[in-house]
């Protein structure tokens, strides 16, 4: 049986796909934790006038939740 040649980008493509899956898993975990804070009454979140998602903790900290980062 003849072995098929692998493209040099085959490994890179699977790494990119795995990285995207890891990012989505991490994002889901963070959003679940934030949801628990909100559900537990320790935080509130709402949309700003510009459409960003704002998280306000009862201790006073305020965070803007972006697609790829939290500020």
Task: Please report, for the chain, the start and end positions of each structural domain, with discontinuous segments joined by +.
Answer: 10-65
CB 54 within 8 A of CB 46: yes
Output helix, strand, coil percentages for the chain, rounded to the nearest 5.
40, 20, 35
Give the residues across from 56 on adjacent strands: 44, 62
User: Could you read off the pLDDT of 4-57 as tens digits, one per residue?
Assistant: 555 555 565 655 556 777 788 888 899 999 999 999 999 999 999 988 899 999
Q: Is the pTM of this model over 0.75?
A: no
């Amino acid at each position: 049986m003849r072995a098929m040649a692998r493209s040099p980008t085959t490994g890179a493509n699977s790494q990119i796909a795995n990285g995207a899956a890891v990012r989505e898993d991490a994002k889901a975990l963070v959003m679940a934790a934030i949801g628990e804070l909100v559900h537990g009454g320790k935080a509130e979140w709402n949309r700003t006038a510009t459409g960003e998602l704002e998280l306000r903790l009862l201790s006073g900290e305020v965070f803007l939740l972006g697609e790829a980062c939290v500020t």
